[in-house]
Structure 1
Amino acid sequence: MNHDNASYVTPSKERVGSSDKQQLAEALSRAHHIEPPVTVAPAPASAGILKRMYRAQHNLLSIWREKDYSVYTTHMNLANQKYVVCNSPDTVRRVFLEQHDNYDRKSPQMRRALIPLLKDGLFVSDGDLWSQRRRQCAPSLSNALLPNFCSVMTASANETAERWAEQPQDEPLDMLTEMAHLTARIIGRTIFGDDTTDDEAEQVVAGFTEYQRHSEHLDMADTLGLPFLRLLGNPLRRNRIRYSAEQVHEVIDRIIDRRINTSDSNQHSMIDSFMTALEGSEGCPMGREAVRNEAIVMFMAGHETTANALAWCWYLLDYDQQAMVCLQAELDEVLKGRTPRYEDVEKLHYTMAVFEEAMRLYPPVPLLTRQARGEDQVRNREVRPGTVLIVCPWLMHRHRKLWEAPDHFVPERFLPKVPRPDKFTYFPFSVGHRVCLGKRFGLYEGVLCLATLAQRFTPQLVPSHKVEIECRLTLRPKGGLPMTLQSRKPYKRF
């Protein structure tokens, strides 16, 4: 079979339940007549690789040309480093599932960007160490603990809502900062219990932000496969990266020490489950530093990515106010003004669809990389040891041949009776053997935070603010997202 000529039909075109099919058809029809939300301008078709690399220094996503949104594979050769871009369901499946043993190691660029902060944590490790850590971390995110975690999510979101209620309606808030503080509070409490203070959570958030700010530029030594160029790097930037990581380590160490010394058997936090699993694990036990490294992995995964996804939700709901009307109508019908609960998530179909569509358009982690251990062939692309494979959710989620109106905000794509996209076409939590352990946690967190806050408020973007996309290790609104809050009282409708 010639995969390059294979046809991938978007799920929106077939086997759709009647009610949801009608909603989807109407939404897609409307989308074709309006401007899409903010995106990244493609590189000029005539741009050579050097010009595209220069553009990527400012925004990694600006390296892609328009034709890259339609191809199934492509490649780049940069000096001593070869890249193959996997941009179809079958190529993603091959790298992340079928041949995962050959592609279990992240690229040199990604390892160098993450190791100062995460050390040998789950995001960075590979091989037997990764397998062992994965088994040890899994109990801390089991489905049995999710109802307790959901209570933390809604309690934290209610605290944010109470603070918002005191906010003057004409005084804008930075919604990105608001969501970062909210998700930091949630993940801090779910990892460490009630021992984490808001000040400590904010210190970790500040450390992550500073770390990303200094880590965002391409490391040309790794990118070009020329290690000697590292001697020409900026030592001041490296020192700042190390200092930011040490600041995060210090705060997390302090929280862990306090948690160990004042353990409360009535609390059910991730760290309790995590450390219980460590004590009972066989083989090489994890040391004190490893506990901290995995705690940072969980904190980063549960805070940064969800905060960005929620910020994009608020932007999109203001961009498409009809979507906000639909979402709030669902909340009024299902919740009738009360705080949402764990069991409500399965009933909040449109709210979930909004969150999933936001992650399609603005995937929290827009670029995934692997480095080949041995030879392989991906479609017609030769892969040699050391080749870096790029899987880009940003490209896949906007692929012109896989999605209808790919750049438009259409939550109806994810309604229950619409067949799900292929899991190797839509993967905001990665896919395959290294799929995010906290996928369900993240989905519930997003829906419960949206539901709690959108019941009581309608955030509106400050008209003078131009929204832009910033691609660091994660995808976020550049310069924040200033919004004013319009209060609403859903229970008065009944």
Structure 2
Amino acid sequence: MDTNNSLYRPPAPHPYTEGTGDFDGVETNLLKHLPEELYKADVVDISTSDRTNYLVNDPDLISVIFEEKPEIFVKAEGMIELLRPLLGDHPIVTSNNRCLDQRDMIRPIGTMRTQQVNFEHIQDSIGRFSDYCEEIRNENRVIDLSLLLRRLNADIAYRMLFSNELPKDVFKEINSHARDFELRISQLIRETAEQGVAWQLPKLPQTAMYAAQQLRYLVSMLIDGNIQSNSFSHHSFLHKFLIARSPETNIPFTRKQLIDHVTTILNSQELAAAVLMWAFFVLSQCPEAKQKIREEVRKVAGHDDIHFEQLSRLRYTRNVFREILRLYPPIPHLTRRASRPLKLGKLDLQEGTQITVSPWIVHRHKQYWFNPDRFDPERYMRKDQHIIMKSFLPFGRGLRMCTGASSAILQGTLILARIVSKFDIDILNADKVEPEGVLFLEPTRPIVCKVTPV
């Protein structure tokens, strides 16, 4: 067993050690109120007066919930439901048969050829991003790291969807509406927690609904404009959405479903940017890890561009990205509901019982990980990797696992490899950074940085 405690401990609240914790009337950051017992037990009863709820950490039981019996453990009305006004009936927020049909329709999108085309889009976006970083450096500007990476990831998503570079004015509109919607939801969740109903689903205010409607309207205009100009390639996501047919009925996506999928892809880049933000933050505090990435890139690609077939050889860089996904999973908890009575391990579940699976807790569980709070990319190279991966679920798992998981790993690995090789991102307020688990996992305040060339 590895007992090295000298590894870097990235920012995270320490477990709450007094008593068993209380989720009613908490302050703004729920992560601060997670009791220590949650990080040690296989199953914990976290029921409230009006709802039976079990927190499940056991990897085998998680496999039953997500992989073996997903038709029984349907999506519950968790916080992810608050995204429905924005994402519509996308499979992320639904669990009916039509949801499964849509997943079958979009599954062919993830072909090797599509990944290769998207690889070139990512390369082009990083090239444009590098030019922007040079501008920032020449002007000696201080910038919000999250904003910097949202711009990069939004451009990647736009190129994948429409085969074109994202116009600056379109990014401003997308970013404005998406951030307005998410910030209003986050504030609503904080207020709900402070009122002593932390697990109760709040009602969205009209301001959040309006922001969602504005973004969906913008997406519909982008779809129409690109269809009219016919400038997208047959490898683009838009083209593949347009020709997709249900395996059961041969019916295409409705216009609303098309908007759901395009909006979800654009919005998912907010999560991708958040993971990269934590990655660059951690690397700024771990110069030895940064140097290992640079040495690996030089060994694999020399001073040339990285090619698609070389990505599999960037093992350390990929493991850095995996370790960031473990320490900072984009969505801190997932909820399911038992649709009928059944036995789960030693639990006798009644119909309607809620099950909570928290990637944040499972990824930092004392029984399943060595030095769980430490940044250790090399843990994935050890003999116990198969055990580790059973407790690794940053994208969910099974039937409703994020369909872009493999692409996200590819994208994150390539971005880290190229940006770390070329730039240093120096964090200026590292001592004030702390993660907050609201709807997504974000810092409690903006992370500000300077960009300098290597």
Identify whether the pair has TM-score above 0.5, normalized to the shorter chain: yes
Cα separation, 2, equivalents of 1:141 and 1:251: 26
Alpha-carbon offset, residue 111 of structure 1: 5.4
Contact 2:125–2:156, Cα closer than 8 Å, also in 1: yes
Q: SS state of the match for residue 484, structure 1?
A: strand
Contact 2:317–2:416, Cα closer than 8 Å, also in 1: yes
Match of 1:177 among 134, 143, 147: 147
Cα separation, 2, equivalents of 1:395 and 1:283: 42
Aligned residue in 2 for 1:286:
253
Alpha-carbon offset, residue 84 of structure 1: 0.8
With over 3 angstroms needed to count, the CA separation of the structure-2 counterparts of 1:421 and 1:366, relative to structure 1, is farther
Match of 2:14 among 41, 59, 66: 41
Cα separation, 1, equivalents of 2:255 and 2:234: 21
Contact 1:158–1:453, Cα closer than 8 Å, also in 2: no
Cα separation, 2, equivalents of 1:223 and 1:278: 43
Alpha-carbon offset, residue 62 of structure 1: 3.1
Alpha-carbon offset, residue 251 of structure 1: 1.1
Alpha-carbon offset, residue 265 of structure 1: 6.3
Cα separation, 2, equivalents of 1:248 and 1:342: 33
With over 3 angstroms needed to count, the CA separation of the structure-2 counterparts of 1:335 and 1:226, relative to structure 1, is closer
Asked if 1:343 corresponds to 2:316, the answer is no
Cα separation, 1, equivalents of 2:247 and 2:39: 48
Asked if 1:295 corresponds to 2:266, the answer is no
Aligned residue in 1 for 2:50:
80
Asked if 1:246 corresponds to 2:213, the answer is yes
Kindly provide the amino acid, as one letter, of the partner of residue 68 in structure 2.
Answer: E
Alpha-carbon offset, residue 393 of structure 1: 0.6
Q: Deviations over 1:161-214 (max 9, x none)?
A: 112123237532222111111001101110122174232233222222221111
Q: SS state of the match for residue 44, structure 2?
A: strand
Q: Deviations over 1:286-313 (max 9, x none)?
A: 3211110111122223x02211111111
Could you list the runs of 5+ residues in structure 1 that have no partner in the other structure?
1-12, 14-24, 489-494
Aligned residue in 2 for 1:109:
78
Kindly provide the amino acid, as one letter, of the partner of residue 47 in structure 2.
Answer: N
Aligned CA RMSD, in angstroms, stands at 2.5
Structure 1 residues 301-316: aligned runs within 5 Å: 301=268, 303-316=269-282
Alpha-carbon offset, residue 380 of structure 1: 2.5
Q: Deviations over 1:103-140 (max 9, x none)?
A: 12x22133541211111111112121111110111122
Q: Deviations over 1:73-110 (max 9, x none)?
A: 01122121111111011110111112211112x22133
Q: SS state of the match for residue 45, structure 2?
A: strand
With over 3 angstroms needed to count, the CA separation of the structure-2 counterparts of 1:198 and 1:269, relative to structure 1, is farther
Aligned residue in 1 for 2:24:
53
Asked if 1:271 corresponds to 2:271, the answer is no
Could you list the runs of 5+ residues in structure 2 that have no partner in the other structure?
none
Contact 1:461–1:481, Cα closer than 8 Å, also in 2: yes
Cα separation, 1, equivalents of 2:57 and 2:83: 24
Aligned residue in 1 for 2:93:
124
Quick check: 412-421 or 353-362, which moved more? 412-421
Cα separation, 1, equivalents of 2:246 and 2:395: 29
Aligned residue in 1 for 2:180:
210
Contact 2:24–2:196, Cα closer than 8 Å, also in 1: no
Contact 1:313–1:358, Cα closer than 8 Å, also in 2: yes
Structure 1 residues 131-210: aligned runs within 5 Å: 131-168=100-137, 170-194=140-164, 196-210=166-180
Contact 2:226–2:232, Cα closer than 8 Å, also in 1: no
Asked if 1:356 corresponds to 2:322, the answer is yes
Cα separation, 2, equivalents of 1:178 and 1:225: 33
Alpha-carbon offset, residue 47 of structure 1: 5.4
Contact 1:109–1:222, Cα closer than 8 Å, also in 2: no
Cα separation, 2, equivalents of 1:39 and 1:265: 43
Q: SS state of the match for residue 455, structure 1?
A: helix
Contact 1:136–1:281, Cα closer than 8 Å, also in 2: no
Q: SS state of the match for residue 40, structure 1?
A: coil
With over 3 angstroms needed to count, the CA separation of the structure-2 counterparts of 1:267 and 1:133, relative to structure 1, is closer
Cα separation, 1, equivalents of 2:50 and 2:342: 19
Kindly provide the amino acid, as one letter, of the partner of residue 346 in structure 1.
Answer: S
Contact 1:367–1:394, Cα closer than 8 Å, also in 2: yes
With over 3 angstroms needed to count, the CA separation of the structure-2 counterparts of 1:195 and 1:178, relative to structure 1, is closer
Structure 1 residues 379-458: aligned runs within 5 Å: 379-415=345-381, 419-458=385-424
Alpha-carbon offset, residue 418 of structure 1: 6.3
Question: So what's the TM-score if we normalise by structure 2?
Answer: 0.92
With over 3 angstroms needed to count, the CA separation of the structure-2 counterparts of 1:418 and 1:377, relative to structure 1, is closer
With over 3 angstroms needed to count, the CA separation of the structure-2 counterparts of 1:317 and 1:420, relative to structure 1, is farther
- Equivalent residues, number: 449
Contact 2:104–2:247, Cα closer than 8 Å, also in 1: no
Structure 1 residues 87-98: aligned runs within 5 Å: 87-98=57-68
Structure 1 residues 209-228: aligned runs within 5 Å: 209-216=179-186, 217-218=188-189
Contact 1:83–1:388, Cα closer than 8 Å, also in 2: yes
Q: SS state of the match for residue 351, structure 1?
A: helix
Aligned residue in 2 for 1:7:
none
Cα separation, 2, equivalents of 1:281 and 1:382: 36
Q: Percent identity?
A: 23
Aligned residue in 2 for 1:365:
331
Contact 2:39–2:362, Cα closer than 8 Å, also in 1: yes
Contact 1:43–1:64, Cα closer than 8 Å, also in 2: yes
Aligned residue in 1 for 2:436:
470
Alpha-carbon offset, residue 370 of structure 1: 0.9
Kindly provide the amino acid, as one letter, of the partner of residue 122 in structure 1.
Answer: P
Structure 1 residues 307-326: aligned runs within 5 Å: 307-326=273-292
With over 3 angstroms needed to count, the CA separation of the structure-2 counterparts of 1:39 and 1:431, relative to structure 1, is same
With over 3 angstroms needed to count, the CA separation of the structure-2 counterparts of 1:446 and 1:224, relative to structure 1, is closer
Q: Deviations over 1:384-409 (max 9, x none)?
A: 22221111111111110111110000
